[in-house]
Amino acid sequence: ICFKMSHFYIKMAHLKANKQDVNTYSNFDEVTQKFVELDVSIDFDKKELTGTVKTEFEIINPSLQEIILDLHGPEIISVNLVNEELDEIPLKYEIYTKNKDKEALGTPLIIYLESIKEENASEYDKIFEDKLVTIIISFKTTEKCNGIQYLTKEQTYNKKYPFMFTQCEAIQCRTLFPCQDTPSVKAKYKAKTSVDMPLTFLFGGIMKSHYYDSPNKRKIMCFEQNIPIPSYLVAFVAGELEYTKISKRCGVWAEAGLSAKAAWEFVDAEKYIEIAENYLNHPYEWKVYNILVLPFSFPFGGMENPNLTFVTPALLAGDRSMSNVIGHEISHSWTGNLVTNRNWANFWVNEGFTKFMERKLDKNLLGEDMAQLESIVGNNSLISAIKMYGEDSNFTCLSPDFSGVDPDDGFSTIPYEKGYQFLVFLEEKVGEEIFREIMSKYIDTFKYKSVDWTDFKNVYEECVLEKMNRRNARKILNVIDWNKWVTETGFPSYKMEFKSKYTKEVDDLIDQFLKGEENPESALELFKNWHTNVKLAFLDEIKKNIDKFDGSLILKIKEELNLVEAYNDDVKAIWYEITLDKGLSDEIENVKNFLQTHGRLKYLKPLYFGWIQLDLNNAGKFFEENKYLYHPIARRLIQNKFDSQK
Ligand code: BES
Ligand code: ZN
């Protein structure tokens, strides 16, 4: 398409990130997307999604001149206005590439509304009268679209068909199609997908219909998401998928041949939903809860895409020992998906609250001592993350500044565990029951909206004043330093005490090994029967006191507890971290094998980091040879680790 240049569409000389969300260029405070309709077709040969995104915008600023959308990778084919008669009128647009942070934030699409005037003046007046404008954009994705990973058939479980999945959180929705890619904005969605038979192409929403386009041998599916969601919750997956039901509202999608195993593993999903509903006194509004098991390159443990939680296949431990991840993702249905962080500086409002819910569910299912043990293990990871970044680092604060950077670069357990500890602190001040009522009120007040932490503070203070006598309430509110908790870097200002009966068992076994007194048979018997969390606490204890263990003792512990073969991937990964810390080069083969079969960043980051400390050269060579096994997001983050060594 060729445009004649005129005065109005070359004036965006200094496009700036939005002040309310520094990770978007969109002018969502002037105009907001309300309804998004996607029509997407996948071509596996070309590794390409092609289609249209039709968006209804509400105009807030009556003198609006342009709509600025985030974009990072896709090619734009056309941009048209859609009027009531469903005619399409071409609009002038520009892709802005002059920004310095385009590597992180992309190259926004600027759509010039005034160009409608040139074509049709009455149409232009009408959109401002109605305060509504519908725009349809035709696009196709490119290899620069980091939110999408294509897998060859060799990289799948059955090795018969290729596979594709998306990961939009935090700012990758803009790598699928142009949009207001900010959690400040929520919209309803419709999606229509098209894929070659016999594959299945899903969208994270409620499936409304599916049919076969037989002349073209394509499977067409239609989905809806009628609860308004932020862009980071948009999700697609295509592959040879099958479905197994778990319960009335829960089920599992997985590669053909895997879904029955997965349904067994995640059988507790329904229970988790019920406990969360009871705790928050708020129903599960999303109706359906399905879990999608991905190939191993999925970079996270789980991702709370609505109606379709994405998970790593590493959760299929065969003993249901990783189902806390499901509890976590289910909890996001309220904290995150109904009530959403307004920007990435408030990420802890998603993750800290969800960690808190996750441990409430575990307390209900496994008891107080187990939930406390999880908090202890969580605190260990908080301490090592803060040490890793340095106590003054911006990324150790609950409200980090992400200007000009991709928020994924600052991702760690800090928003989870520091956020969690702050909420436990707030809970201890008022007691469990009042805090539960506060959480419930918070969800009721802010569902379908996007919030920052001060919105929660207001509900907390209101409820405390309402539910406690005035003097007590004042006393409590006066000692809570919200600003200190949220805006200061480093360790939490108040040290939380977590206590669990399990720590004694852990300490005893550690002591026995250190003194060389253990009876190998009973040690194995004890360890084998421990809950995963106790095993993790034991290994954490070794890691913390690594100097007290010499290499031969570490190898002895490995033999006696059967550490490499027998347990789930969380246990294995921390074991490999220990062997790297200790410089046990005989173990490298096992580590390599693990790194070639896992794509979860929680494992990749510490293992590559440990290996870099031990042997930068070989770690680098191995990564170079294997990096295309990993998701683009993981690949970039691990590459950054190597680059920072230079
Ligand atoms: N929403 C996160 C995953 C995420 C965070 C993706 C930031 C992209 C950017 C998800 O809910 C999560 O926290 N997953 C954890 C689960 C764990 C805390 C139980 C994970 O993947 O390890
Ligand atoms: Zn989460």
| HEC string for 35-86 | EEEEEEEEECCCCEEEEEEEEEEEECCCCCCEEEEECCCCEEEEEEEECCCC
Model confidence pLDDT, tens digit, residues 564-593:
877 999 999 999 999 999 999 889 999 999
pLDDT at 9: 52
Q: Give the total residue count for the chain.
A: 646
| pLDDT higher than 80, residue 2 | no
352 alpha carbon – ligand 2 mean position (Å): 8
Amino acid at position 558, single letter: K
Chain segment 16-57, per-residue pLDDT in tens: 999 999 999 999 999 999 999 999 999 999 999 999 999 999
Q: How many CB atoms lie within 10 A of CB 279?
A: 18
Residue 254 in 3-state DSSP?
Answer: strand
Neighbours of ion ligand 2 (CB under 5 A): 351, 354
Give the whole-angstrom CA distance, residue 360 versus residue 140: 44
State both tokens at 645.
């060594």
The region, left, alpha or beta by phi > 0 then psi within -120 to 50, assigned to residue 56 is beta
Q: Is 337 exposed, middle or buried (0-12, 13-18, 19+ CB in 10 A)?
A: buried
Give the distance, in angstroms, between the CA of residue 395 and the centroid of all CA atoms in the same chain.
17
329 counts as catalytic: yes
Query: Which ligand is nearest the CA of 171, by number?
Result: 1
Closest ligand 1 atom to 355 CA: 18
pLDDT tens digits, one per residue of 338-392? 999 999 999 999 999 999 999 999 999 999 999 999 999 999 999 999 999 999 9
Residues 6+ apart with CB under 8 A from 143: 47
Displacement of CA 153 from its chain's centroid (Å): 26
Residue nearest (by alpha carbon) to ligand 1 atom 22 = 301
What is the CB-side half-sphere exposure of residue 346 using CA atoms within 13 A?
22
Residue nearest to atom 6 of ligand 1 (CA): 169
> Which of the two residues, 458 and 5, has the higher pLDDT score?
458
Q: Which of 146, 294, 297, 300 to mutate to test the pocket of ligand 1 (most atoms within 8 A of CB)?
A: 300
Are the CB atoms for 147 and 630 separated by under 8 Å? no
Site to substitute for ligand 1 among 173, 303, 354, most atoms within 8 A of C-beta: 303
Distance in Å, CA 299 to ligand 1 centroid: 9
Q: CA-CA distance, 608 to 638, in Å (whole number)?
A: 7
pLDDT of the residue at 4: 46
Cα of 605 vs centre of ligand 1, distance in Å, is 14
Of all residues in the chain, what percent carry a pLDDT higher than 70?
A: 98
CA distance 369 to 373: 6
Cβ atoms 36, 186 nearer than 8 A: no
The pLDDT of residue 1 = 41
**Full-model pTM:** 0.97
Which helix (H) or strand (E) element contains residue 93? strand 92-95
Residue 537 · residue 377 · CB < 8 Å: yes
CA of 408 to the centre of ligand 1 (A): 11
**According to DSSP H, which parts of 518-600 are helical?**
520-529, 532-544, 551-561, 569-581, 588-595
Report how far residue 298's alpha carbon sits from residue 597's, in angstroms, rounded to the nearest whole number: 11
The strand pair at 308-311 and 132-140 is best described as unpaired
* pLDDT score, position 118: 85
Going by pLDDT thresholds of 50, 70 and 90, the confidence category of residue 501 is: very high
CB of 304 within 6 A of ligand 1: the answer is: yes
Residue nearest to ligand 1 atom 17, measured at CA: 325
Q: What distance lies between CA 204 and its chain's CA centroid? A: 14
Cα(114) to centroid of ligand 1, in Å?
A: 42
CB distance 170 to ligand 1 below 6 Å: yes
- Work out whether the CA dihedral 139, 145, 147, 149 comes out positive or negative: positive
Which amino acid belongs to residue 386?
I
Ligand 1 contact via 325 beta carbon (within 6 Å)? yes
State the residue for tokens 């490119």. 142
List pLDDT tens digits, range 426-445. 999 999 999 999 999 999 99
Please work out whether the CB of residue 602 comes within 6 Å of at least one atom of ligand 1. Answer: yes
577 is catalytic: no
Is the distance from CB of 572 to CB of 594 less than 8 angstroms?
Answer: yes
Per-residue pLDDT, 10: 52
Give the number of the ligand closest to the Cα of residue 344. Answer: 1
Ligand nearest to the CA of 306: 1
- Give the tokens for residue 198: 């016999």
362 lines ligand 1 (CB under 6 A): no
Tell which atom from ligand 1 comes closest to the C-alpha of 600. Answer: 21
What is the C-alpha to C-alpha distance for residues 293 and 332, in angstroms, rounded to an integer?
A: 18
CA 245 to each of CA 288, 302, 321: distance values in angstroms, whole numbers, following the listed order: 11, 19, 20
Ligand 2 center to residue 509 CA distance, Å?
33
Which ligand lies nearest the alpha carbon of 166? Answer: 1
- Residue 572 near ligand 1, beta carbon < 6 Å: no
Catalytic entry in 96, 161, 416, 567: 416
Q: Bridge partners of 52?
A: 39, 138
- Ligand in closest contact with the CA of 352: 2
Nearest CA to ligand 1 atom 11: 303
477 contacts 429 by C-beta, under 8 angstroms: no
Catalytic residue among 329, 358, 518, 577: 329
pLDDT at 13: 62
Q: Distance, CA 587 to ligand 1 centroid (Å)?
A: 29
Write phi, then psi, for 59 (nearest 5 degrees): -90, 125
For residues 577 and 196, give the distance between their C-alpha atoms in angstroms, rounded to a whole number.
Answer: 43
> Ligand 1 atom closest to Cα of 407?
9
Q: Over 60: is that where the pLDDT of 311 sits?
A: yes
CA of 354 from ligand 2 middle (Å) equals 6
What's the mean pLDDT in 296-317?
98
Residues 6+ apart with CB under 8 A from 318: 261, 265
Atom of ligand 1 nearest to the CA of 413: 18
* Partners of 75 in beta bridges: 140
CA of 193 to the centre of ligand 2 (A): 27
Contacting residues for 589 by C-beta, under 8 A, at least 6 apart: none
**Are 324 and 387 spatial neighbours (Cβ–Cβ below 8 Å)?**
no
Ligand 1, atom nearest to 350 Cα: 1
Question: Across-strand partners of 253?
Answer: 243, 292
The dihedral over CA atoms of 454, 459, 461, 463, expressed in degrees to the nearest 10, equals -170
